[in-house]
Structure 1
Amino acid sequence: MAQKFKRSYRFALRTALYISVFLSVIMGLFAFFEVQSIWVSLFIFAIFCYFFSFLIIQYRVERFIYRRIKKVYDNVSLLDSKTLSPNQITTDMSSLTREVKKFAEDKKLEIETLKVREGYRKEFMGNVSHELKTPLFTVQGYILTLLDGAHKDKVIRKKYLARANRGVERLIYIVKDLDMITKLETGDLHLRYETFDIVELIQASFDLLEMKAAKKEITLTFDFDYEEPIYVRADRERIQQVLTNLIVNSVKYGKKGGTTEISIENLIKNKVIVRCTDNGEGIENENIPRLFERFYRVDKSGSRKEGGSGLGLSIVKHILEAHKEKIYVESVFGVGSEFSFTLEKRKKIPEDSVIPEIT
């Protein structure tokens, strides 16, 4: 406390000294020039005193505050004194309070964001561990059984090797999906833009997944017959992957005898929106914001009965973001879900003029 009083005394003493010296000089000038009119002298003297006192006190207070705050910045390693400028210092304490409050709120938000990221990182690592552990232990179990002597029985050997192979294939599937997401996030996966018929691509996806849907008696269909092609500009292979993942997801969680319907609509002048709608289980509102997280599953049981790597929707999101497009989700629990995404629309062009662009 004594140190604070000393600093304020030193500040006041220097300020008083500057004002006293200035007033003495002014008085000396009046005496030197022997000004006759005392009222004129007092008036001029008062004006000079007022303006000089204002300027010197304002300058001294600003410098005093700036030095004190700069010392705080220098002492606290989290603060960057380079962002502090003398022009920002003001004697308006409400403004200064707002600046300090804003700084504190920004830091609080930054800390909260880091906590959320840390929680997400821990959850992600736990999910990765769980997803990899199951097939690894499965493969290990079959191999150890074979090493313990089961390899002598040809039937058991063939069956166990086939099961171990399925475990390895699942591991490869997960690693490939993770690798793709990493490349999309870092920009290492280049897109080959071309103009193609999205209707034809959707039909190709239907043909590819027809047998999978038939097992659950789910019908894959358009909302109506598209007699004319609809051309879009995108990476054909990646958009087919988006469609495949959405349709597979729809079939997985669709109800027996249900329908997966795809529609294409004009959104704005140069955009179309592709909708994938089903009448399956639906998604609860609390789960929708996290659908596109890696390994996030609506089913909390962890049974993994539906299979998959848990990365399908995350890959969809990253592919569309790489195209600078949007994906949307609407769902009513127990009624069904709709996933929709946008694409850049193009007019029909001659087939021989389509040149893929790599970006």
Structure 2
Amino acid sequence: MSTVKYKKSYTFAIKSTIVVTSFSVLLLLLLQYYFFEINFLFTVTFALLFFAFNFFILQYRVERFIYRRIQKIYKNVSILDETVLRNQPITTNMKTLMYEVNKFASEKKIEIESLKVREEYRREFIGNVSHELKTPLFTVQGYISTLLEGNIKDKSIRKKYLQRAESGVERLIDIVSGLDMITKLEAHELQLEFSTFDIVAVFQNIFDMLELKADEHDISLMFDKDHYRPIYVIGDKEKISRVIINLIENSIKYGKKNGTTEVRLEHFTKNKLLVRITDDGIGIDKKHLPRLFERFYRTDSSRTRDVGGSGLGLSIVKHIIEAHNEHIYLESSLGVGSEFSFTLQIEKNPADNL
């Protein structure tokens, strides 16, 4: 281990020596005035020698008794990161030392608070995962156990229970695949396949796919009539489609009877498109907005479980959009409705290059 090098400070010794020497010289002059004849050469020689002697003694004592303790403080304070001691010389200036100690304390306080937040998030996340998995697992187990206990011969009951068990398994698969996608996106392991595609065509296909589900909830799907012409963007078409499906399904789930879900496409900047998905549903209380994109976060657990879903939809949406280096926005008022919007990079029509 290399020896710690100190950047010495002589300020304390110099100032202290000046004060002591000045007092001593004044005292010597007074004694000479009252008892002897004043000798300026002797006085100057005395002052210089006395100054040098005092400076040497003070600096030596400060280094030996005070700075050694400073070194110990550095070692104790920097025990978690000893490289700080090796990368640069340590100053023995007390002002600098106090600044560095206070800085260290502030950083460690922030680090501890961050660890507490992470621990709370981890505990909450594990609880949510176990609860989300437990519900469909117990459902599947219950139906299978009922069949094994004697109802397996009844074809009508057998078919109904197996269908319900299958629904539970599908929910389990949805949760696991959603978690897998989020984990890979966070770890940058899920590769995005960028291409140029028509976002208008994507919306039209998704509207066709979700039309029946919207009809079941008496929700009208509306597309801004000004944007039926092609608009080309750059992104992973499959992942962006997943984002749009999740957002529209979310608006259908929490929409009101005879309500609407409207899509608008606007130029956010010269090279950015803003996709806006607006509904007039139940809306979201402002206190829930900062945490709405967290995994499994529920604004009302009883209500959201009634409408189904894995609780990962909005979290997946956020991660996919951020993986594209884009932004997602949310505005909502309780009882009025919600608007989710996100940006995409605009690209020229590929036909223009032909």
Pairwise TM-score range, normalised by the shorter structure: 0.7 to 0.9
Asked if the contact 2:77–2:104 (Cα under 8 Å) also holds between the matched residues in 1, the reply is no
Q: Deviations along 1:155-195, whole A, 9 cap, x unmatched? A: 22222112111111111111111111111111111111111
Q: In the alignment, what sits opposite 1:102?
A: 103
**CA apart distance, 1:131:** 0.8
**CA apart distance, 1:125:** 0.8
Asked if the contact 2:278–2:338 (Cα under 8 Å) also holds between the matched residues in 1, the reply is yes
AA in 2 matched with 1:139? V
Q: In the alignment, what sits opposite 1:139?
A: 140
Are residues 1:314 and 2:315 paired?
A: yes
Q: In the alignment, what sits opposite 1:203?
A: 204
Q: In the alignment, what sits opposite 1:245?
A: 246
**CA apart distance, 1:238:** 0.5
**CA apart distance, 1:268:** 1.8
Are residues 1:91 and 2:78 paired?
A: no
Q: In the alignment, what sits opposite 2:285?
A: 284
Q: In the alignment, what sits opposite 1:336?
A: 337
Task: State the alpha-carbon separation in 1 of the partners of residues 254 and 248 from structure 2.
Answer: 10
AA in 1 matched with 2:160? K
Task: State the alpha-carbon separation in 2 of the partners of residues 129 and 267 from structure 1.
Answer: 41
**CA apart distance, 1:266:** 1.4
Structure 1 residues without counterparts, runs of 5 or longer:
1-14, 24-37, 354-359
Task: State the alpha-carbon separation in 1 of the partners of residues 278 and 328 from structure 2.
Answer: 13
Structure 2 residues without counterparts, runs of 5 or longer:
1-12, 22-38
- The 1:162/1:41 distance shift into structure 2, 3 A limit, reads same
Count of residues paired in the alignment: 317
Asked if the contact 2:77–2:101 (Cα under 8 Å) also holds between the matched residues in 1, the reply is no
**CA apart distance, 1:76:** 6.1
Asked if the contact 1:62–1:91 (Cα under 8 Å) also holds between the matched residues in 2, the reply is no
Q: In the alignment, what sits opposite 1:3?
A: none
AA in 1 matched with 2:250? N
Pairing 1:1-359 to 2, within 5 Å after superposition: 39=40, 42-43=43-44, 46=47, 50=51, 57=58, 61=62, 65-75=66-76, 78-84=79-85, 85-92=88-95, 95-301=96-302, 304-350=305-351
Q: TM-score, with normalisation over the residues of structure 2?
A: 0.81
- The 1:60/1:243 distance shift into structure 2, 3 A limit, reads farther
**CA apart distance, 1:39:** 4.0
**CA apart distance, 1:259:** 1.1
Aligned Cα RMSD in Å?
A: 2.7
Secondary structure (helix, strand or coil) at the match of 2:197 reads strand
Q: Structure 1 vs Structure 2: percent identity of aligned residues?
A: 60
Task: State the alpha-carbon separation in 2 of the partners of residues 98 and 167 from structure 1.
Answer: 59
- The 1:251/1:49 distance shift into structure 2, 3 A limit, reads farther
Q: TM-score, with normalisation over the residues of structure 1?
A: 0.80
Q: In the alignment, what sits opposite 1:7?
A: none
Task: State the alpha-carbon separation in 2 of the partners of residues 203 and 297 from structure 1.
Answer: 30
Task: State the alpha-carbon separation in 2 of the partners of residues 265 and 45 from structure 1.
Answer: 87
